[in-house]
Each structure stands twice: as structure tokens, then as C-alpha cells.
Amino acid sequence: MKVVGINQSVDFGKAQSREDRICSAINVKRLTLIILFISVVLFNGVVNVSASRTDWPVFHPKLNHPVETPKTSSQASPLPTQEVTVTITVGSAPWGVAYDSGKGEVFVANSGGGTVSVISDSSNTVVATATVGNNPIAVAYDSGKGEVFVTNSGSGTVSVISDVSNTVVATVTGLNGPWGAAFDSGKGNLFVANSGGGTVSVISDSSNTVVATVTGLNGPSGVAYDSGKGEVFVANSAGTVSVISDVSNTVVATVTGLSAGGAGLTYDSGLGEVFVTQGNSNSVAVISDVSNTVVATVTGLNNPSDLAYDPRDGEVFVTNNGGNSASVISDASNTITANVTGLSSPRALAYDSFMAEVFVANNGSGTVSIISIPALASATTVQASGLSGVSGILSQTTLLLIGVIIVLVVLIVLVMLRRRRPTGPSTAVGSVPGTIYCRQCGAQSSATQQFCEKCGAKLKP
């Protein structure tokens, strides 16, 4: 819009645009300087923190917490020891253990007495005892049916226990030395290793009958279900692990390179790995379910028997049958981070996700030990000395995230300031009658003028 006076011609639209461009340029410069300043401060802080600290924690690849790492030779010290908090008397020669998440109970197979003890994890007492077959070994929980399967190695059967009545409601026959067992929640089937026949029986939990038989194994014992791949891993006494597809119920891969004596397995859902005990070499092999190869070996064990996975902390508990103890393995570093003493010829164990406890069957004393897993420290301490004093589990990534947030806040503030216009009142207290104020720059003008003489903005009464 152009207003022509007696001796002047002013294009107030262009004047206003020019003012906007000047303001925008000033704000951009301010923003650039602020971002540059913050970036320099953050970069300096990260460098200082990294240079001044040598104890940055290693974070779990998938879980949001740090994990224990082995100490260097200069820091060498005894591993921390976790204590047994409760010991419960059960039946004779307890072996297999399974946690029933629906009832908050733990089922323990007493191999010497042909019974199963039911422990409440709230009272830590035996609340029921079920009579099963001869020499019960493994226990598996069926979350879909609320039932517990028990392999009876001496009688060649599998007992099905209802967790409502804690009694046997069905018995599956036709097996040959059934040993390890794992429940496939994706298919609703139980996979049982027949140690005497070199096969694996597939039992449907809807009919409680054998619906398939997998051949081609050699002395199968332990079994673990991989929910991520829909596969079942079976340890063979010859030092191999067979991988069975639960779609075709056939062996689709064989993992080699293990030592003989493998019996216990557990699936690590956090990293997609299977941990296998190797009793003859006092170690645990770590198998990737992607490549079906051994990717790591954990040593320093004593005749390891069985394992249980703790998904909360990304840890694997393994019983040392020869050492009357248990070891805690970090699945991030594949190293032993703690030991548990005070056990008696421990066999199987199970992780109680609700109570954050591990139940261990002591075959030598007819008891079950409960290991309470300590909560991870999550507190972060920031000292007053600045970024270089950050301690705890604050990482470089966290610092950079804070910097991004600060930059965004500054940007939002600048945008708000840019959009804010001077707000001189059209009629203010103490103002001269017949005058108004420009809402753009705040200059005083006559009430009869249509445009501000200072900035050219249109005046509003």
C-alpha cells in the first residue's frame, strides 16, 4: 500500500517487510550464537567427562540399565556373593523346578519320592503335594491352560497337574525315558526329550496326547523353547544341540563345537541366545539363534547342571552341582558377575518374575533355596563441579539429549519473541488526548493519522 504526501511517497508495505527482515536476521544471529555456545559447552563437558572417568558402566544392549563388567587385573577382587534368603523343606531328592506365573506358585519335582511340592511364593511354604509317576525330573508350566507338566523318567510318562486343584488330571504315556521338557506357548505343545530313544515327543495340551515324534537326536536331555524364532533347542549328550522347528516338528539345524555332558538349557529372550551347560568342561556355551553357532563360552563353573534366565536384569543363573553353589552370568558381557553359596548339590532352578527371586532345588538336602535378586541402583548423582563431575549412570548420550532439549527450548522462546509485537495501548493512562500509540513500534501519533510516521505500520484506534 502506498500513501503519497505533498513532498513524499512512502511504500509502507515494503517498509514493514524490511523491518521484518531486519528482525528475522537479528533473531537468526542470536539463535546461531546461542546454539554455538551451547554446543561448545556440551562438547567440552562430554570430553571432560569421558577423559576424567574410566568407570563408565556398560549398558545392556536391550535393557535400560548398566550391567556388571569383569574387573581388570589391577582391580581384581573377589566376586560379590548373593545370599540365600529362605530355605524350604520339600520331598526327597528335588530336581526340576517351574514357576507358575498365574498362581504365584513354584512346582518342584521330588525325584526320590514320586511327588511334586507346590510352594507359594508369598508365604514361602509348601501348600500342596501332588503324587506323580516314578522318578520325576523336569517340570514345565503351561500358561494357556494353567497346568504343569512333569516328566516321569522311571515310568515313561508325563503327568499333567492342574494348578487349580494341584492334582494330576491326565497322564501321557508312550515315552522312553522322558527327561527334559519345554512348553511351546506359540503352538500349545510340550516338547519332551526321550533320553532312552533318541527322539523328542510333541504333546498337545488340548488332547494330552503325543501328536508328533522328532527323530535324529543322540541322547537328548535338556530342552528350551525359543519364542522369538518358534524353535526348540535340545541338548544331546554327544556335545551337540539340535534345533527343531515347531512348524514342521523336524530338526532344521545342529549346533556343534560343544563339549559332551550338556544337559541344561535356557532361552535368553532379550538377546535371542540359548545358554547350554557343559558339565565335562565346567563351562556354559552361548548359542545365537540367528546363526545357530556358539558365539561365546563362559568358564569358571563347577559341573554346571541347569540354568534360568532373569529378563529383568539380563542375567542367567546357573547351578554348580559340583560346587554347592550357583553363578550369575551377565548376558551382555558373558562373564560371571556374582556367586551364590550355601546350596546342596543344586540341580534345576526357576526365576519368579513377580517376586524377583530364584528358586533352586537342592538335590542333596531335600530343600529349595530362595535367592533374592537385589534391585539395580538407578540413582544418578550430579556434583556441583559441572559436567565433568557427573557420576552414576549418566552417559554421553544423556548429555547430548539434554543439549538438544535446551536448544529446542531456546528456539521456541525466540519464535515467541519474534511473533510478539509491541503493545502500546491505544489510549493509555496519562496519554495526551487525541493521540494513539503504534502497536508495531510503540511510537506516539496523532489520532487522525492512518499510518505510523516512524515505522509505517497501519494505526488502529
Q: What is the pLDDT along the chain (461 residues), one digit of tens a residue?
A: 444 443 444 444 444 444 555 555 555 566 667 666 766 666 666 555 445 544 444 555 555 555 554 444 334 456 777 779 999 999 999 999 999 999 999 999 999 999 999 999 999 999 999 999 999 999 999 999 999 999 999 999 999 999 999 999 999 999 999 999 999 999 999 999 999 989 999 999 999 999 999 999 999 999 999 999 999 999 998 899 999 999 999 999 999 999 877 789 999 999 999 999 998 899 999 999 999 999 999 999 999 999 999 999 999 999 999 999 999 999 999 999 999 999 999 999 999 999 999 999 999 999 999 999 875 433 332 333 333 344 444 455 666 677 777 777 777 766 666 655 544 444 444 455 677 777 777 777 777 777 787 777 777 66
84 sits in the region (left: phi over 0; alpha: psi -120 to 50; else beta) called beta
Backbone angles phi, psi at 287, to 5 degrees: -110, 130
Residue 48 is given by DSSP the state: H
Q: Does the global pTM surpass 0.75?
A: no
Distance CA 177, CA 166 (A): 24
Domain boundaries, the chain: 15-65+394-420, 67-372, 423-461
Per CATH, the number for 67-372 is 2.130.10.10
Distance CA 138, CA 228 (A): 23
Distance CA 347, CA 410 (A): 60
